[in-house]
Each structure stands twice: as structure tokens, then as C-alpha cells.
Structure 1
Amino acid sequence: MNSVGHINHGLWAHPRDESHRFNELNYWIDLAKTLERGLFDGLFIADITGTYDVYQNGIDLTLRESIQLPSHDPATLVSAMASVTQNLGFGVTVNLSYETPYQFARRFGSLDHLTQGRIGWNIVTGYLDSAERLIGQKGLKDHDLRYEQAEEFIELCYKFWEGSWENDAVLKDKQKRIFTDPSKVHSIQHHGRFYQSEGVFQVSPSPQRTPVLFQAGASPRGLAFSTRHAECVFIGGDQPEKIKQQVNKIRELAIQQGRQPEDVKIFVGITVVTAETDLLAQQKLAEYIRYASPEAGLAHYSSSVGIDLSKYADDEAIPYQQTNSIASVNHKFKEKKITPNDLKAQHILGGRYPLIVGSGETVAEQLIQLMDETGIDGFNLTRTVAPESHHDFIDFVIPELQQRGRFKTEYHQGSLRNKIFKNGDHLTAQHPAAHFRCQNPKQSKAQQFDLSKQSA
């Protein structure tokens, strides 16, 4: 995240942590080079609009521990990191609730050009009341209504990315003085419930057209959205049986949406502390724990569920309360008894991702076992002490994975989408976006390309 604290809170205070330099371009340039050295598929950059102000009914702890505050715009980092890498992808979080589809689609179409097809979009709808107040609204929209708006937002983006310009519209013919063939550029007409748009998209076809689509919705409405649109889905969980259930459910829902199970890659968020030996890794963990802030993790969690958890005694069961925040996280209080002490124990490093500790060999074997038992496709690795944790994973874990034939030894060529799926740069014909592609290559300029009534 373009901030100091992201998931594992409190570790900014560690003497070797450099995340306080997040506002320096070299911090991100060095990170991009490091990740490409390790053959990472991509750098995923989270983001929020708003502040975590639910815990203790204020932001004092949020400010003291830098719980994603201050945080800066993630999209501003991409061009610089792309300029020093050739293969690393960039998944960027943008909350569509506070964007207009046209300006957003234009920005990401531009980034796809500048990265030569290495951009992805993590689709979020927001979950903070503080964000609504910042933009002049009274409170968070209903959870399912946010997804209805998201459906129309992404449909209009598909029209811009896929339907305004034909693939061969740009000629760059200096002799004939034709840069773009006018007959191959079409006007979009969209008149919907949330958005209106008429005109030609200003960005010519980029390598991927539509960026790689990421999503993490886990509620019934969120899963319906992600299995319809997303190519990469993030899930949580620390028990293999429950992870496997989620994986099977996502793949079954994808089939029901008319897609193939392999059209969706599923990733689990993890935290890894590793070193030369198991003993040294445990010693490193003990060192990290001295700086981590479980309470800051609790404050982050409070805003995720929309409940001030500071009101409950450490050993008091937290009652379920319906809110408009992250429904899947909040639902856990309905499923089982959870106390603040339970959450603090889970947030031992200030974050709630499953923690894997050990030598490179130990970690590699655990990752492989988790993949084989659950059917996931990979992991979203969060940082602890930056950049130390990235270097440790690259130096200790990746060679062990490579020796076991479970991690690449060189990059696959092409766009981010082609690297992940090895099936070309564009979305498949089964994806909803395909319905909005230019259908008639002989369509004249005078004919407007009206897609607003087509089914997604």
C-alpha cells in the first residue's frame, strides 16, 4: 500500500524497516527491481478512501501507529516502477464508488499503454463511513446497492475499453496522412440507472484493452460479482478445509456464470517470516513481535466490520451486529464466539493473515501442501519489515520452490494477462466484456455504436 502501515501494523517502528520512506520514489523503484529479481508475477497495491475512525470513536491510534494513514494515491507509482522493469505486473486498487467510469477507464487505459500491458485493477466498492463523509455524503450506501452500482460501472468501462475502437483503427500512415481510420472508431451511448455517457473513448486500444481484473468479495453478493467479472480472486482463511470449500464454491459459481473453472485464479493472503534455519526464523519472529501492535490490528479490524471493538472486555464475546461494512468479515461473529483477546492473538504481527514461519525449505513445503490440499493457484504475500521480508522470501523460499518444480525460473512473455493465463492478451470470449466488443468491422463512422441495451 502507498502508506507506512498496511496489514502488519506496528512494524514501521522496527529499526530495519524503511516503510516510512513510502513517499520517496526510490523506495518504490527499488521494490519493483527487487520483486522482478524474485520473478514475482506482480505487485499488488491496496488502497482505501477514508480513515479508520471506528475504534475508540476517533483516529488517535490510527495516527500514532500510522494505520494506513497517511496514505497516497497508488496509481501515481506505476509508471516509475514500470520504467525500471520489463515483466512485473501491477495490480492497483481503485474504489469505483468515488470515481466516474470515463475518467477511470481513461486513466487505466493509459497505464496499460505505458506498462505495455502489465496493469490490473482491484475492484472495490468501499466499506468506510468516513469515506462517504469526505466526499460529502451522509453515510455508506447499502452493501448490495454498492454492488448494483459496481455492475453498471464495470459494464460502462467494458464499453469504453472494448467497444469504441476496433483493433486495427490506428494506422500511423504518414504517406496517406491517416493516423486513425475514422470508420473504425465508434461512439458509445450509455443511459443507465447510475451513469450516462455519450461519445468516443479517447484512448486507443491498449495491449490488454481491459486490465486484469482482481476482486475480493466474499459475501453472497460479492461472490456473484467476482465470479462473473474477476480473473483473480483473493480469499482469506487459515484452515485448509475452509479454504478448499471457498475454492470449490468459487469455481462452481464461475461455471454457473458461463465461465470455465480455470478462468479464475484464486489467491490466499499470507504472512511469511523466514531465515536460514527454522530456529533463526523463530528468533526473527520473536524480534518482530516486540515491535508489532496487535491493538492497531484490532483498530483496523474495527473499521472492517464497522464495530468499535474497544467497547468490549478482552475476554468478552463480541456480538454479531449487521453493518454495511465488510459483510464476510462481520459474519464471523455470527458463526462462532470471538473475543478481543482472540483477535489480538490472531493479530500477533498486527495483521490477520495466516502466519508461516520457518526456513526456506519449511515455508516452501507448507506453501506447496496448502496449494495441493485446497486447490488455490497462489498467494498474496504481505510484507512485515520492508524491504527485508521481500529479500528474505526471494533468497530463502523461492529457490526451494524452484527446486521442487513449483515456481518458474523465468518469466513467460507478453502481457500480465498472458503471463497469468498463457492464453493471449485479451479477455476470453466467455467473459462478459466480450459482449461489448466491436462486432462489425465495416461499420461506418456515421453509425453510432449503441451498446447500452446489450446484456452483460
Structure 2
Amino acid sequence: MTREIRLNAFDMNCVGHQSPGLWRHPRDKSSTYKDLDYWVHLAKTLERGRFDGLFIADVLGLYDVLNGNVDAALRHSAQVPVNDPLQLIPTMAYETEHLGFGLTASLSFEHPYTFARRISTLDHLTKGRVGWNIVTSYLNSGALNIGQPAQTKHDDRYDLAEEYLEVCYKLWEGSWEDGAVVRDRESGIFTHPEKVHPIRHSGKHFNVPGIHLSEPSPQRTPVLYQAGASSRGKDFAGAHAECIFVASPSKPVLKRYVANVREAAERVGRNPREILAFNLQTVILGETDAEAQRKFNEYRKYASFEGALTLISGWTGIDFGQFGPDEVLRHRHTNAVQSAVETFTTIDPNKEWTVREMADWVGIGGFGPVFVGSPQTVADLMQEWIEDTDVDGFNLAYAVTPESFEDAVDLLVPELQKRGVYKTDYAKGTLREKLGGAGPRLVAPHPGAAYRNLAG
């Protein structure tokens, strides 16, 4: 079966991102994350490779679960220091024409009224090439540092997220009618006041009576990404997401997740095929399998064991510092620890994972799998995963940047194009249109499209 493979790059405005310790590699430039030159070079490289977008992760908090403090995170730059991702995008958009930008922004820490304006501004500046990765934040330190007593309970965060999106939909989709802005120099009318409407939102979490501050942007609502893994998260994704992001190390888990989200979409009347699923993946490429393996072995020398444990502890909420490196976790400790390794057991059901082995896996590329090989070998694996899991594409993390991305563009993309499973040029229009949407805006039965006529 010939099916187009979609690729995003996965990065973060920090050092190392998913591969702690590899910032020390002599060819790695992630420590130059503060320089726009790094980001402009990356954007131009990705556009040359016809990537759909650059998916920019973010956290508003610190990985302080390991040993109960932030020391290891600071020592190994485990996603700290970390800068604001939004401010990178306008410059990259100015230097490119087609590349999309997926912005991670937590709805837990910013009011929807101000956030909606920031996104509209960004959609204007990018000419409609922005997406929003909707997250509710999982690090307790982030909640504490903005004055909350603790992180909100999981399901309560999704209750808030539903209302948050309702406010944003009303602002983006309904506040300004399509013909409100006329820019009529002769009459002196810029905007027809009767075509701009207060949203009059009064809810459990938010009261927003007035109008949206920004005139309608090319997409109005950005392309919506979501990555919730819980039952509630998958239902939320099925209702709202246009793209879903998964970080699965195995095909069984990935296949089940994608099927669950598509089923959730179908339950609310949406076309499940309109949701694009991307799995976290790292590819280590060489002209030959042997060259790629040599490169992978070289990278592994720089991986940080403690840095990997810092990330795992933050992601799971479990302090892995309490276990010895060679301690087997399966069937030995609390249900929480067993659930943390459940995903790993799907890779090999007969294997019992030690702390060291989990850290080795996460040390390059996070929870996602690592494909090592020639362009032909990696392309075979990608097509196999597409076929076996119903995923649509991959968010490619780096081991060494920009080398990992340059290898993907120069080695892998030509092989995929030769097989007829990767685009040779971009579609026209906004990011939503480039991803296969019928137009630049949300369409029914997506819930956001229901907020168009606030005048009624």
C-alpha cells in the first residue's frame, strides 16, 4: 500500500531535549539554542526536506522528582534552562515559505483571553502556518511557581481544558464576522462595529464578556495538536485534535492508541481519518547500515544516565533515584512503578527491565523508538510502522543537532520520495490546508466550527 509519510521535527528551546548528555558531542549545536541563527538554519533545512512542520515542545516547570531536587536536571541540562518557544516562530516563518510551526503552550498557566490574542498574532505573522499543541502541564513545580497550591488533578485539568477551548473558539471563530474588517479609505470605516460581537462567556473557570482583540487571522483557530494518553485525554483528542502526538516505543501500544483516538472521534461524529497521528521517533542514518551503527555507538558514549533518569522521573512522577541501576522493576514495587514500565514490556513481553536499561533506552530520543540504519533500512521500518499501526507519520527527535535533521533531509527524504511515499512539494495555503484540510478554517462537525454565529 502506498501511503504518504508525514514528518515533523521535534525540538525544544533548550539544550539536549530528548537526548540528555549529547550536548557534549563535538558536532552538537543544541547549546546554541539562544541564537536565532540556529533556529533559522534548522527551519531552512526542514523546509528543504519538505517537512510538514517544526513541533516545538515546552515545559513550565522543573524536573525535580529525581532525588527530590533539581540538581540533576541542572547538572545535565534536562530541559533546563528552557526559553519561551513562541518568540522563535516569527523569525523562522519570515525566513521560510511553507514550513508549519507547532507551538506547545499550557492552558494551565495563562488566561484564554490573552492567549487567544497571542495565537491570532502568530497566525497573522506566519500567514496561517501555526498549530497549537494543547497541554495541561504535568510538572507540579510549574503550578507552585505561579502561585497555585499544587498541580490540579488530572481529570479536573481536562474539565478546565474543555472550557478553555470553548472560550478560545468563541474568540477566534465567532467574535468577528468574516466581513467585519473592510479597510475602506473613502468612507473612513476600518471595521463595521455591528459585525463584531462580545462573546459573553460566563463559566465555571472563566468569565470573558467582551470581544476578541485581534481581527480574524488566516486560520482563525490554529491547527490543533494534542497528546493525552489517558482515557480522558484520548476522548479530548477525539473531540478536538486535528493531529495527535504519541510517544510509543512499540507497535502494539501505538496501534491501540491510534485506534482509540479514532474511535473517540467517530463517537462524536467526526471523520476519524481526518486526524493525523504522529509518533515520536529518532533516526540515526548513514550511507550504509554499518556507518549508521558506528554513528549510533559514537552517540551513546555521550548519553547521560542520570540525565535520562531525571526525565523519566519527571514524566512518570516516580523518583527513580530510590532504585539501584541494576534493580529489576517489574513485579517488584508499587503499581505506579509497574505502570511506568508497562509500555516497555510491550517491546518484549518476556523481558524484565532494570533501571539502567530504561535509562539506556530513554537516553537517546526519549520514550520513542530509535531506528538505526541506511536510508533504505529506515524507510523500510517507517513503512512497516505505518502499515502495522495506522500512524500517519513521525515527529523526529534529534540525537545530535542539526546533524540528525540534516541526515534525515539529505539521506532519508530522497529515499522516501523515490518510493513515492513522501511529497516532492508543498501544497498551497495555510498549515491546515497543507495537512489536508478542505480550507483554512475548521469545518463541521468539529466543535470549534459551532461558534461561528455569535450574532444569533
* Fold conserved between structures, TM > 0.5: yes
For residues 380 and 354 of structure 2, what CA distance do their matches in structure 1 show?
32
* Superposed counterparts of 1:179-198, under 5 Å: 179-198=190-209
Q: Residues 6 and 67 of structure 1 are in contact (CA less than 8 Å); yes or no, is this contact kept in structure 2?
A: yes
For residues 390 and 53 of structure 1, what CA distance do their matches in structure 2 show?
30
Paired AA for residue 377 in structure 1: D
Residue 216 of structure 1: aligned partner: 227
Paired AA for residue 200 in structure 1: I
Residue 248 of structure 1: aligned partner: 259
For residues 165 and 405 of structure 2, what CA distance do their matches in structure 1 show?
33
SS at match of 2:124: helix
1:427 is displaced (CA, Å) by 0.8
Paired AA for residue 432 in structure 2: R
Residue 328 of structure 2: aligned partner: 316
SS at match of 1:233: strand
1:10 is displaced (CA, Å) by 0.9
SS at match of 2:108: helix
SS at match of 1:199: coil
1:263 is displaced (CA, Å) by 2.0
SS at match of 1:206: coil
Residue 427 of structure 1: aligned partner: 442
Q: Does 2:420 align with 1:405? A: yes
1:322 is displaced (CA, Å) by 5.4
Paired AA for residue 105 in structure 1: A
1:438 is displaced (CA, Å) by 2.0
For residues 333 and 364 of structure 1, what CA distance do their matches in structure 2 show?
24
Q: 1:140 to 1:5 in 2, by over 3 A?
A: same
Residue 292 of structure 2: aligned partner: 281
For residues 48 and 225 of structure 2, what CA distance do their matches in structure 1 show?
24
Residue identity over aligned pairs, in percent, reads 47
Q: 1:89 to 1:60 in 2, by over 3 A?
A: same
Paired AA for residue 150 in structure 1: A
Residue 280 of structure 2: aligned partner: 269
Residue 71 of structure 1: aligned partner: 82
Residue 393 of structure 2: aligned partner: 378
Residue 127 of structure 2: aligned partner: 116
Residue 8 of structure 1: aligned partner: 19
Residue 144 of structure 1: aligned partner: 155
Q: Residues 18 and 387 of structure 1 are in contact (CA less than 8 Å); yes or no, is this contact kept in structure 2?
A: yes
1:96 is displaced (CA, Å) by 0.5
Moved more, 336-345 or 373-382: 336-345
TM-score using structure 2 length? 0.92
Q: Does 2:434 align with 1:416? A: no
SS at match of 1:269: strand
Q: Does 2:85 align with 1:105? A: no
Q: Residues 246 and 278 of structure 2 are in contact (CA less than 8 Å); yes or no, is this contact kept in structure 1?
A: yes
For residues 212 and 296 of structure 1, what CA distance do their matches in structure 2 show?
33
The one-character-per-residue Cα deviations of 1:23-72 (angstroms, maximum 9, x if unpaired) are 01111111111111111000000000110001011111111110010000
Moved more, 246-255 or 216-225: 246-255
The one-character-per-residue Cα deviations of 1:389-433 (angstroms, maximum 9, x if unpaired) are 111011110000000000000010000000002411111111001
For residues 134 and 5 of structure 1, what CA distance do their matches in structure 2 show?
24
Q: Does 2:185 align with 1:154? A: no
SS at match of 2:221: coil
Q: Residues 365 and 399 of structure 2 are in contact (CA less than 8 Å); yes or no, is this contact kept in structure 1?
A: no
Q: 1:329 to 1:217 in 2, by over 3 A?
A: farther
Give me the CA root mean square deviation.
1.9
Q: Residues 292 and 350 of structure 1 are in contact (CA less than 8 Å); yes or no, is this contact kept in structure 2?
A: no
For residues 388 and 235 of structure 2, what CA distance do their matches in structure 1 show?
25
Paired AA for residue 207 in structure 2: Q
SS at match of 1:97: coil
Q: Residues 3 and 68 of structure 1 are in contact (CA less than 8 Å); yes or no, is this contact kept in structure 2?
A: yes
1:262 is displaced (CA, Å) by 1.4
Q: Residues 60 and 137 of structure 2 are in contact (CA less than 8 Å); yes or no, is this contact kept in structure 1?
A: yes
Residue 174 of structure 1: aligned partner: 185
For residues 101 and 345 of structure 1, what CA distance do their matches in structure 2 show?
40
Deviating above 3 A after TM superposition, structure 1's stretches of 4 or more consecutive aligned residues are 320-323, 327-339
Moved more, 115-124 or 180-189: 180-189
Residue 5 of structure 2: aligned partner: none
Paired AA for residue 402 in structure 2: P
1:332 is displaced (CA, Å) by 5.0
For residues 339 and 219 of structure 2, what CA distance do their matches in structure 1 show?
31
Q: 1:381 to 1:185 in 2, by over 3 A?
A: same
Moved more, 268-277 or 231-240: 231-240
SS at match of 1:421: coil
Residue 95 of structure 2: aligned partner: 84
For residues 285 and 248 of structure 1, what CA distance do their matches in structure 2 show?
32
For residues 274 and 351 of structure 1, what CA distance do their matches in structure 2 show?
18
Residue 3 of structure 2: aligned partner: none
| Structure 1 residue corresponding to 2:452, chosen from 437, 446, 451 | 437
Q: Residues 253 and 343 of structure 2 are in contact (CA less than 8 Å); yes or no, is this contact kept in structure 1?
A: no
Gaps of 5+ in 1: 444-448, 450-456
Residue 360 of structure 1: aligned partner: 375
Residue 453 of structure 1: aligned partner: none
Q: 1:363 to 1:88 in 2, by over 3 A?
A: same
The one-character-per-residue Cα deviations of 1:139-190 (angstroms, maximum 9, x if unpaired) are 1111101111111111100000001001111111111111111121111101
SS at match of 2:225: strand
1:375 is displaced (CA, Å) by 1.1
* Superposed counterparts of 1:45-60, under 5 Å: 45-60=56-71
Q: Residues 293 and 350 of structure 1 are in contact (CA less than 8 Å); yes or no, is this contact kept in structure 2?
A: no
* Superposed counterparts of 1:332-343, under 5 Å: 332=343, 338-343=353-358
Gaps of 5+ in 2: 1-11
Paired AA for residue 377 in structure 2: T
Q: Residues 167 and 205 of structure 1 are in contact (CA less than 8 Å); yes or no, is this contact kept in structure 2?
A: yes
Paired AA for residue 410 in structure 1: D
TM-score using structure 1 length? 0.92
For residues 281 and 191 of structure 1, what CA distance do their matches in structure 2 show?
57
| Structure 2 residue corresponding to 1:128, chosen from 125, 136, 139 | 139
Q: Residues 93 and 126 of structure 2 are in contact (CA less than 8 Å); yes or no, is this contact kept in structure 1?
A: yes
For residues 264 and 156 of structure 1, what CA distance do their matches in structure 2 show?
23
1:328 is displaced (CA, Å) by 7.9
1:321 is displaced (CA, Å) by 5.1
